[in-house]
Amino acid sequence: MIHVRNLKKTFGSFVAVDDVSFEVAAGEIFAFLGPNGAGKTTTIKMLTTLLRPTEGSIELDGLNPLTQQNEARKRFGIVFQDPSLDGDLTAWENMEIHGVLYHVPHKLRRHRSEELLKLFELWERRNEIVKKFSGGMKRRLEIARGFLHTPKILFLDEPTLGLDPQSRNQLWTHVKGVNERENVTVFLTTHYMDEADRVAHRIGVIDHGKLVAQGTPREIKDRTGTESLEEAFLALTGSTIRDETAGSADQLRQFAKMWDGGRR
């Protein structure tokens, strides 16, 4: 379903993704693990037509996301790591826009929006402006929105960041559900190793832009001779803490908070 060959992305002299190759089969749940700044999000952005690779090739369901952008976009859905909601609209309106943009027929759209908002316990507050939501509620809304249409490939970029255990559980049950029922291929990143261990069929570990290990959770643990995925991960990537430089977006959010007291 996803074929990536010798993928490379450089920003100036910085190599964010370095010669990465992997394949994800149809119906598979693939977890992409790595420390902060390892190149996970950059890879997802390239897979989802948001960034052009410097080198290498990508194939999504037989399509090239560089040249057949629109066709490729019809194949996938994505839950972003950072916020992507319109804070000035209500939860319901955010769902509506998404449904229209993804060509979900009117009736189905309403039906599924209701179902998903109930599932993620946002139904009562569907008519409230999103910027008044708490961090966890926004996150839940993003996820509910991501499930509104049924794509062939679902990208989840650290979906559980900032979620409570209940919502996290709800999310993974749902992910497994669509994966089994509708054979949706899932490509996810997470920092919680237990989640990856529990959900993923196969795992890729990326560090400093390079893919350092690939295989089933069992294989990776065996290879490093460790008991848990967490230990395996530390064995593969070392235990130094990485700092991500704040992107311009983060800086601006900071600025915007100062500027208009969190108007949005």
Q: Which stretch binds other proteins (CB under 8 A): 66-74, 164-172, 213-221, 236-244?
A: 66-74
| Closer of 17 and 229 to other proteins (Cβ) | 17
| Burial state string for 195-232 with b = 16 or more CB within 10 A and e = fewer than 16 | bbbebbebbbbbbbbebebbeebeebbeebebeebeeb
Smallest distance from the beta carbon of 252 to other proteins, in angstroms? Answer: 4
Letters for 161-200 (x = contact with other proteins by CB under 8 A, - = none) are ----------------------------------------
Q: Which stretch binds other proteins (CB under 8 A): 163-171, 198-206, 237-245, 246-254?
A: 246-254
Smallest distance from the beta carbon of 113 to other proteins, in angstroms? Answer: 14
Q: Apex CA 38: angle with CA 34 and CA 39, to 5°?
A: 110
Structure tokens at 239: 């235990």
Smallest distance from the beta carbon of 106 to other proteins, in angstroms? Answer: 9
Cα Dmax for the chain: 53
Query: How far apart, in whole angstroms, are the C-alpha atoms of residue 240 and residue 249?
Result: 26
Letters for 140-159 (x = contact with other proteins by CB under 8 A, - = none) are --------------------
Helix (H) or strand (E) holding 259: helix 248-260
Other C-beta atoms within 10 Å of 64: how many? 13
Q: Which amino acid is at 97?
A: I
Query: How far apart, in whole angstroms, are the C-alpha atoms of residue 260 and residue 254?
Result: 10
Q: Which stretch binds other proteins (CB under 8 A): 15-23, 169-177, 225-233, 245-253?
A: 245-253
User: Which whole-number Å values give the CA distances from 151 to 155, 173, 187, in the listed order?
Assistant: 10, 17, 12
| Closer of 98 and 202 to other proteins (Cβ) | 98
| Closer of 102 and 123 to other proteins (Cβ) | 102
- Contact flag: residue 264 with other proteins (CB under 8 A): yes
Pairing outcome for strands 76-79 and 55-60? unpaired
Contact (CB, 8 A) for 22 and 214: yes
Letters for 45-64 (x = contact with other proteins by CB under 8 A, - = none) are x--xxxxx------------
Other C-beta atoms within 10 Å of 248: how many? 8
Count of residues engaged in binding other proteins, rule: CB under 8 A: 37
| Closer of 52 and 198 to other proteins (Cβ) | 52
Query: How far apart, in whole angstroms, are the C-alpha atoms of residue 206 and residue 209?
Result: 6
245 DSSP assignment:
P
Q: Which of residues 68-127 bind other proteins (CB under 8 A)?
A: 70, 73-74, 76, 78, 80, 82-89, 93, 96-98, 100-103
Binding region for other proteins (CB under 8 A) = 45, 48-52, 70, 73-74, 76, 78, 80, 82-89, 93, 96-98, 100-103, 129, 248-249, 251-253, 255-256, 264
